[in-house]
């Protein structure tokens, strides 16, 4: 069952660079290589880009009553290769030639504490880790040519007695409103909401569970973060959909779920916010294993019921019938996907009222056996260059899932290997379909669509001893620098 109470995260000392995992261990098979010092192209006039990203950091340290508080995670930063940036002409925020004038810089500060942390890469095509331990997150600001396509992903491999599994979450730009889908009131499951405010003014975040108890206001101090045990907000919602609304500012939100069936570890995961409510949503990846299952969680924020049509995209779903289900207004529901062959898929949802959505993939359905699970939210399809570092985990396999819900799409796929070499190839994604590509040998993967939108997600699986591993992240375009709102100038709600 969920625990109660709120916990304020306090400052901790800075950690040195190096990929570390929970309970003080190190990932034995991680091999994160810096790319070669490829020079940027000669200067041509182009606007200078800025991208601000927030990473939640460890969720357990500093929270009263939680076991195994000795937790560490790593944020892997990735800078786009010059050869791909120079041809990125999507018109999306931050797009342009790497030859833009001005020096590149990346600032990495702990939240709270504002301590400068080492490790964030500024080299085109490179990946580099920033270590985080203790009760703190990370604030990243990339400026200049390196900001185009800049990304960061947080990885945590939990080996603690009370938490086991792999968690991946992208670092995101803070927003004024977000929806997060994960969790359950079932015995052995618990959830924690991490709210990060990198701005110089405090922010009040209103946290509620769709169809649940009254909202609760959480004050996130300036340049700080708060961890909320979800049970203190609502411990009865069967299909939790958490809404976070920031007053007079923005916050970055992530939801952590852990699951145990008695002494059997059933996985852990960290999920970012889902795409905003819409009548057409794309979940860019879901996983069906031989012994597992996949389902969708759908929330309807408005008062009207939503009739939801679910279409599964992928080579194993060509004869799979659409699933139609009505979800009452102001509530959430699970939509199951029975009978799907094992594989990687994308899922399109169309509804007659705005919805939010996420997929839930469980490696082994039998709760008497250890497994891991993956929550992956709906995300906006991408038009411009996007990328992500590829974490290397024990007995790991990494797969890129590309989908094209509206028309055939051609994509330039770029992979950077351990030696820093960029390889590119053209990939065609069929109309109304999805393509899965093995990128296990890459240290970073980059996607540049041509002439339309595609869905993109990275799925990582593996095995750590007898513990299965499963996690994934959507690839999303950075929305540019988030505005720092002066409390005296912010509009009243």
Angle at 136 between CA 233 and CA 21, to 5 degrees: 100
Distance CA 417, CA 127 (A): 10
The three-state secondary structure class of 328 is coil
Helix (H) or strand (E) holding 84: helix 82-85
Residue 263 CB burial class (10 angstroms; 0-12, 13-18, ≥19): exposed
Q: pLDDT band for position 80 (50/70/90)? A: very high
Complete DSSP assignment for 199-222: SSS-EEEEEEETTSS--EEEEE-T
Mean pLDDT to the nearest integer, 138-158 = 95
- What the block records as the tokens of 232 is 């203190």
Q: Residue 24 pLDDT more than 50? A: no
Instruction: Write out pLDDT tens, residues 154-186.
Output: 999 999 888 899 999 999 999 999 999 999 988
The three-state secondary structure class of 300 is strand
Distance CA 416, CA 450 (A): 20
38 inside domain:
no
CA quadruple 67, 69, 72, 75: dihedral, nearest 10: 90
Q: Residue 489 pLDDT more than 50? A: no
Please name the residue ranges forming H helices in 213-283.
Answer: none
191 inside domain:
yes
Distance CA 333, CA 297 (A): 6
pLDDT value at residue 281: 99
Q: What percent of the chain has pLDDT over 90?
A: 74
Residue bearing tokens 């790593």: 74
In this structure, the number of other CB atoms found within 10 A of the CB of residue 276 comes to 15
Which of 152-166, 196-210, 240-254 is predicted least confidently? Answer: 152-166
For 230-233, the CB contacts below 8 A with 24+ separation are 230/2, 230/183, 230/190, 230/191, 230/192, 230/193, 230/255, 231/1, 231/2, 231/3, 231/4, 231/190, 231/191, 232/2, 232/3, 232/4, 232/5, 232/6, 233/193, 233/207, 233/208, 233/209
Cis peptide before 112 (omega within 30 of 0): yes
Distance CA 490, CA 493 (A): 9
Q: Helix %, strand %, coil % for the chain, to 5?
A: 5, 50, 50
Instruction: Write out pLDDT tens, residues 274-332.
Output: 999 999 999 999 999 999 999 999 999 999 999 999 999 999 999 999 999 999 999 99
pLDDT value at residue 26: 34
Distance CA 93, CA 50 (A): 9
pLDDT value at residue 49: 81
Q: Residue 484 pLDDT more than 80? A: no
Distance CA 270, CA 64 (A): 20
Instruction: Write out pLDDT tens, residues 337-347.
Output: 999 999 999 99
Tell whether the torsion through CA atoms of 56, 62, 68 and 73 is positive or negative. Answer: positive
CA quadruple 335, 341, 343, 347: dihedral, nearest 10: -30
Mean pLDDT to the nearest integer, 140-154 = 95
484 inside domain:
no
Instruction: Write out pLDDT tens, residues 407-433.
Output: 999 999 999 999 999 999 999 999 999
- What the block records as the tokens of 293 is 């299952």
Domain count, the chain: 1
Distance CA 378, CA 239 (A): 16
Q: Residue 99 pLDDT more than 70? A: no
* C-beta separation of 335 from 312 below 8 A: no
Distance CA 318, CA 320 (A): 6
Distance CA 113, CA 118 (A): 15
Which of 31-40, 166-175, 374-383 is predicted least confidently? Answer: 31-40
In this structure, the number of other CB atoms found within 10 A of the CB of residue 274 comes to 26
For residue 175, what is the DSSP state?
B
Mean pLDDT to the nearest integer, 441-470 = 96
- What the block records as the tokens of 85 is 């940036």
Q: Residue 389 pLDDT more than 70? A: yes
Closest-CA residue to 355 (of 283, 276, 284)? 276
Mean pLDDT to the nearest integer, 111-140 = 96
pLDDT value at residue 263: 85
* C-beta separation of 376 from 359 below 8 A: yes
490 inside domain:
no
39 inside domain:
no
Phi then psi for residue 255, to 5 deg, are: -115, 125
Which of 7-21, 35-49, 363-377, 406-420 is predicted least confidently? Answer: 7-21
* C-beta separation of 410 from 422 below 8 A: no
Mean pLDDT to the nearest integer, 257-265 = 89
Which of 12-26, 206-220, 412-426 is predicted least confidently? Answer: 12-26
Structural domain of 388: 7-29+46-474
493 inside domain:
no
Contacts of 13 (CB under 8 A, 6+ apart): 115, 134
Q: Residue 14 pLDDT more than 50? A: no
Mean pLDDT of the chain: 86
Distance CA 251, CA 247 (A): 9
pLDDT value at residue 142: 96
pLDDT value at residue 102: 63
Distance CA 78, CA 126 (A): 6
Mean pLDDT to the nearest integer, 114-123 = 95
481 inside domain:
no
165 inside domain:
yes
pLDDT value at residue 483: 39
Q: Residue 117 pLDDT more than 80? A: yes
pLDDT value at residue 68: 85
CA quadruple 407, 298, 175, 48: dihedral, nearest 10: -20
């Amino acid at each position: 069952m969920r625990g109660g109470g709120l916990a304020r995260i306090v400052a901790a000392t800075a950690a040195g660079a190096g990929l570390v995992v929970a309970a003080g261990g190190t990932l034995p098979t991680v091999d994160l290589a810096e790319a070669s010092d490829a020079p940027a192209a000669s200067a041509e006039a182009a606007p200078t880009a800025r991208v601000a990203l927030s990473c939640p950091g460890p969720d357990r340290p500093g929270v009263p009553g939680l076991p195994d508080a000795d937790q560490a995670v790593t944020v892997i930063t990735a800078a786009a290769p010059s050869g791909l940036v120079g041809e990125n002409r999507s018109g999306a925020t931050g797009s342009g030639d790497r030859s833009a004038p001005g020096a590149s810089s990346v600032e990495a500060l702990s939240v709270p504490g504002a301590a400068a942390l080492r490790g964030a890469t500024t080299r085109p095509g490179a990946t580099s880790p920033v270590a985080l331990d203790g009760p703190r997150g990370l604030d990243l600001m990339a400026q200049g040519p390196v900001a185009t396509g800049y990304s960061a992903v947080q990885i945590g491999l939990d080996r603690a007695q009370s938490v086991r599994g792999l968690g991946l979450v992208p670092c995101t730009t803070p927003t004024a409103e977000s929806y997060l889908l994960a969790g359950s009131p079932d015995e052995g499951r618990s959830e924690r909401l991490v709210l990060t405010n990198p701005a110089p003014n405090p922010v009040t975040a209103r946290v509620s569970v769709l169809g649940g108890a009254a909202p609760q206001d959480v004050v996130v101090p300036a340049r700080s973060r708060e961890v909320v045990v979800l049970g203190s907000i609502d411990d009865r919602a069967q299909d939790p959909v958490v809404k976070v609304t920031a007053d007079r500012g923005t916050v970055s939100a992530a939801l952590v779920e852990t699951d145990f069936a008695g002494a059997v570890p059933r996985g852990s995961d960290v999920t970012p916010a889902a795409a905003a409510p819409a009548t057409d949503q794309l979940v860019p990846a879901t996983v069906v294993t031989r012994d597992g299952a996949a389902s969708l969680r759908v929330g309807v924020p408005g008062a009207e019921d939503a009739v939801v049509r679910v279409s599964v995209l992928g080579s194993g779903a060509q004869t799979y019938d659409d699933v139609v289900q009505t979800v009452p207004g102001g509530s959430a529901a699970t939509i199951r996907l029975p009978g799907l062959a094992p594989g990687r898929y994308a899922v399109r949802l169309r509804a007659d009222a705005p919805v939010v959505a996420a997929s839930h993939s469980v490696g082994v359905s039998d709760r008497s056996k250890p497994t891991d699970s993956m929550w992956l939210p709906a995300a906006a399809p991408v038009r411009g260059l996007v990328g992500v570092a590829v974490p290397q985990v024990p007995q790991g396999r990494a797969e890129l899932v590309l989908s094209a819900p509206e028309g055939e799409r051609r994509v330039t796929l770029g992979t950077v290997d351990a030696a820093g070499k960029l390889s590119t190839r053209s990939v065609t994604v069929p109309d109304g379909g999805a393509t899965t590509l093995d990128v296990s040998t890459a240290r970073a993967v980059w996607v540049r669509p041509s002439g339309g939108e595609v869905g993109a997600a990275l799925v990582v699986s593996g095995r750590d001893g007898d513990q299965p591993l499963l996690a994934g992240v959507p690839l999303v375009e950075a929305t540019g620098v988030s505005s720092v709102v002066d409390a005296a100038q912010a509009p009243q709600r």
